[in-house]
Chains A and B, each alone.
Chain A
Amino acid sequence: MSGSAIPSSVQRIAVLGAGHVGPVIARIALDAGFEVAIAASGSPENLELITQVVMPGAEARWAADAVAAADLVVLAIPLHRFPALDPGLLAGKLVVDAMNYWAPADGVVPMFKGQEVSSSEIVQRQLSQSTVVKSLNQIAYQDLEDGRRPAGSPDRHAIGVAGNDAGAAKLVGEVIDRIGYDPILLPSLSAGRILQPGGPIFGAVLARSQFELAIRTTAVHA
């Protein structure tokens, strides 16, 4: 399992990936008061203008520097790039896996092909020295900002948080809550399969009650 220490609290977040998803996560994390660094595959220079305009307040850095300084790392790269990512880069870190695998739309990625486990279990297997929590994968990036609501709002939406390490999942849940969603904790990465493409929750913006209903209904039919 993981050989990493879970931080006592999260203040600094590194977002890896500056495509569709990464900048949106960076922005909502900044809004929630976190310190945010963003990195893509290349030099931070290429990201400076994008960061300034689209995520003002975030810092564009080299991936290694962003990760080293972070309490929590969000993986938001295209999944087919994941096999080439050096696991050593993320060793000892709490990692939120926001990626998804759906071959019909994104192509076949051999590392993930035909597996009966959740994609995050494969990510965890690969990142053996990190603690992986599956979250932020299920709401479409275009809905992630507008879907936020303050704590206690009657129409607050929910985001699933699945992890094998209960402490890590709880910590990620607190981040989700601060960002503006009700965290729904799932007991394992394997249970996080329900959050994936093809499942009843993926791509939907649901209130806690609808979310829990979808989980119960699916469990009955499974």
Chain B
Amino acid sequence: MTTSTTESPRETTGGSTPFPLVLGLDTFGDHEHDARDRPLSHAQTIRNVVEEGVLAEQVGVDFFGIGEHHTDDFPMPAADVVLAAIAARTQRIHIGSAVTVLSSDDPVRVFQRFSTLNAISSGRAEVILGRGSSIDSFPLFGYDLADYEDLFEEKVNLFAELRKGGPVTWQGNLRPSLNNQDVVPFTENGPFPAWIGVGGSPQSVVRAAHYGFSLMLAIIGGSPARFRPFSRLFLQALEKFGREPLPIGVHSPGHVADTDEKALEEFWPRWLNIITKMSKVRGFAIPTMESFRFEVGPQGALFIGSPETVAQKIATNLKTLGANRFDLKFGMPGLSPASVLKNIELYGTKVIPRVRELLAD
């Protein structure tokens, strides 16, 4: 081979960003266990998520996102309902999906639910649309996985029309057409922020730019730096389509505790358990301690450790990727409410101020 693979991620950055720094938290409604490791009910886990959202605001987190899932490990199919409960008890924090699996939902319904959330929260709602790397919703709602790409393409197209406001006229193949129809509630101050969650496909990056959605890079394995070309691709695609620059965010899993050791010790068994289950569904070999260590290290996608460790990694990757937003996906099925609340508290009171400091110069 002619090129070194150890090229420093800092050699070139994704570019500076004109947008304010946003530091958020995401959850998938991870099924919590009590202090004696007994599973809580789904209902209790959901009530805890509401408390977690309220705490996030209190400790200074900018955004609280909930990702739609449909399993016992992640009993969170109606994220917008939970977000509405959080909206009613908060004043400042932005709230949104992370992600809404648009492929198996109806864009009109999604628009209605999030414009309703936007009304309840006085303009704090956001939506992150995804194809869903977690595919549980497909059999549940009778969709064929073979239509994965077509469903998303067509539904994103309709959602972009809906977001413009005003009567909608639209025609597609997978959903009845709309003819000059009002879709309520109207938003008060123009379209609410909408993002597309992108895993690793450059065509998805171009799609986001084409429709004028912001870009959320979902980095859940491997080196975050490999996404650097995607930031450039997004900005160049926006320019090609005659659009103004839009924000770029990063979503990655992690866990913050008082020390690196404690964070790793709490996270590893829960992560091993869930990834082992995923391995069976997706057909890949079970990961090892070695692969976990790699993901936790500077080249990997897990943000686990003390506030200082996690803050350094966030700051480095935001610079590398030219991104202005980072959302830490906190929790893991089996973690206790105490450890999850501690994570949120440390993220808000220690990690966020430290990242702001590191990126100030």
Contacts and interface: CB of A to CB of B under 8 A. Distances in A.
B279 A203 contact: yes
B168 interface: no
B233 interface: yes
Of A19, A78, A80, A146, most B-chain CB atoms within 10 Å: A146
B361 interface: no
Given A53-B236, A54-B230, A202 B284 contact: yes
A37 interface: no
Contacts of B149: 78
B203 A204 contact: no
A205 B299 CA distance: 15
A18 interface: yes
A180 B5 CA distance: 9
Nearest to A143: B222
A53 B233 contact: yes
Interface in B142-199: 144-146, 148-149, 199
Contacts, number: 108
A28 B223 CA distance: 15
Given A54-B230, A203-B279, A31 B2 contact: yes
Contacts of B299: 146
Of B138, B279, B285, B291, most A-chain CB atoms within 10 Å: B285
Given A32-B1, A49-B233, A205-B291, A107 B146 contact: yes
B146 A80 contact: yes
Interface in A96-115: 100, 102, 104-109
9 contacts: A49-B240, A50-B202, A80-B146, A100-B283, A142-B200, A145-B5, A150-B1, A199-B283, A204-B291
Given A20-B200, A140-B284, 18 more contacts: A19-B201, A24-B200, A32-B2, A50-B205, A50-B233, A78-B149, A102-B282, A104-B282, A106-B145, A107-B145, A146-B222, A148-B5, A179-B1, A196-B283, A198-B283, A200-B285, A203-B279, A203-B282
Interface of A: 18-20, 23-24, 31-33, 40, 49-50, 53-54, 78, 80, 100, 102, 104-109, 140-143, 145-146, 148-150, 178-180, 196-205
Q: Which 9 A-B pairs have the closest CB atoms?
A: A203-B284, A197-B283, A107-B145, A142-B222, A204-B285, A107-B146, A31-B3, A20-B200, A53-B233
